[in-house]
Amino acid sequence: MPSFVVPRAALSRRAVLRGLGASVALPFLDAMRPLRAAEFRKYPVRLGVIFMPNGVRQDAWTPEGAGRDFKLSPILQPIERHRGDINILTQLSHKNCEHGDGHYAKTANWLTGTPIAKTTGKNLHCGVSLDQVLAAQNGPLARFPSLELGTEPVHAGVDFQVNYTQLYGSHIAWRTPTSPLPPEINPRLVFDRLFRENAAQRRANAADNKSVLDLVLADAKSLRGTVGHEDQQRLDEYLDSIRSVEQRIAADITRVAAGENLDPSFKEEIGRLDKRIETAMAANKADPGGRMRLDHTEHSRLMMDLMTLAFWSDSTRASTFMFGWAVSGKNFSFLPGVKESHHEASHHGNNGDKLDQYQKINTWHIEQFAYMLDRMKSIKEGDGTLLDHSMLLFGSSLRDGNSHNPHNLPLVLAGRGGGLKTGQHLVNKENTPLCNLYLSMLQAAGAKVDHFGDSTGTLAGLT
């Protein structure tokens, strides 16, 4: 018998579809509106942060012009179709990492605006990150206070060239100054966390696992018969999206088992290192969270789709995603004309060939960001879209990977959540604190804060 019971009042915003071992939060439906319009609350503001390591090619990043009269740079061309939904922010700087060596002292504190303690691992100290400030205030309103995602495992060693623990380069979310929150890199585990009440109920044989949607089918049918036509369409679209992500995750697990996802450089060794590859694949199956070698584009898009689903279902209102850790050596030879790893290309030494590869890697990251904007903009929520009710920050903790410059950081802010203005290239006064942006975002999201990091005020023209 379906467990869903139709209430006489408005449907609860926290209503879920339930089945044996599954729980699927619902998107916003008209049936959730109170009978009296005066009781209707604003949509929640979702905060998403998308981190790209290693900076950008400087001469191909900054748009021409300012205000609403601007021309996007070559790297930013993939988001041209979203120019009305974005702000390009220039001249924002992070002075509290000026004296730190390399990438680590600029990655860990990118979202905290605080200095970090130089350590090889025993005495971590950073600050509380932007997302966690919001999570602490809004977390109780959603199933999960925050969601941390990534594609590369946490590094716990020491970089003796600069004497920093690599933990600083593996985290951008900090719950407390001494408690970093590691990103989850396995899409299956994220999916189960969002939509399965007890992930341990999954059986070793994937064929024995029912789809999450099959488990809640009875509840879904019961609900569908009690809401209007538009709500039925919204519900169908939402459930179709969940099934699509679930199927894509299953397909990736199949590719891992077949070895089709291995990096090109590793594939070349298959003939003479067959036994070693078998060992590597056995490790993949035994520990998919730590040694996954998924196609990087699909892996990244799966994680962004999971963030989108989490926002759509109001499972969380704060989430971060790391394309890679601070000195990511991710091989980008899958891009035409690229033969370097990300970190290696960022240390270009002003070599023209390396700069071109660096730019292609930057552009790929923007293309993935555009993919997420497409998805969030396609999801209707009330009279707007999910993107309209979100603020999505894309950026890097360095201006340029070659110089480790923390000034004039590359940043794009998308969405109108909290009343943000969009469609602008906001050129700030030189060396304006990055934390002025964070303070503006927190206040727009409803957080009760009047200072953050080294902020000196809010950004003019943003809200």
CATH label of the domain that carries residue 321: 3.40.720
**Given phi > 0 = left and psi -120 to 50 = alpha, else beta, which region is 64?**
beta
Quote the pLDDT of residue 126: 94
Confidence of residue 241 (pLDDT cuts 50, 70, 90): low
Quote the pLDDT of residue 436: 97
CA distance 167 to 141: 30
Q: What is the mean pLDDT of the chain?
A: 80
**Chain segment 108-155, per-residue pLDDT in tens:** 999 999 999 998 877 889 999 999 999 998 866 778 889 999 999 888
Q: What is the mean pLDDT of residues 214-230?
A: 66
Give this prediction's pTM: 0.78
Question: What angle, 0 to 180 degrees and rounded to 10, lies between the N-to-C axes of helices 229-258 and 274-286?
Answer: 140
Q: Which of 113-117, 159-163, 307-311, 319-323 has the highest mean pLDDT?
A: 319-323
For residue 406, the enclosing domain spans: 16-98+128-156+180-444
> Is the pLDDT assigned to residue 235 strictly greater than 60?
yes
> Is the pLDDT assigned to residue 352 strictly greater than 50?
yes
CA distance 271 to 44: 54
Q: What is the DSSP letter of 198?
A: -
CB 321 within 8 A of CB 49: yes
Closest by Cα among 215, 228, 247 to 24: 215
The answer to whether residue 456 is domain-embedded is no
The answer to whether residue 360 is domain-embedded is yes
> Is the pLDDT assigned to residue 311 strictly greater than 60?
yes
Quote the pLDDT of residue 33: 57
Quote the pLDDT of residue 245: 65
Q: For 279-387, list the strands marked E by DSSP.
A: 318-322, 380-381, 384-385
The answer to whether residue 173 is domain-embedded is no
The answer to whether residue 7 is domain-embedded is no
The answer to whether residue 11 is domain-embedded is no
User: Hunting for tokens 């906001």 — which residue is that?
Assistant: 426
CB 318 within 8 A of CB 131: yes
Structure token digits, residue 76: 């930013």
The answer to whether residue 462 is domain-embedded is no
Total domains in the fold of the chain: 1
For residues 72 and 208, the model is more confident at 72
The answer to whether residue 363 is domain-embedded is yes
Confidence of residue 374 (pLDDT cuts 50, 70, 90): very high
319 phi, psi to nearest 5 deg = -150, 145
CA distance 147 to 231: 27
The answer to whether residue 161 is domain-embedded is no
Helix, strand, coil % over all residues of the chain, rounded to 5: 40, 15, 45
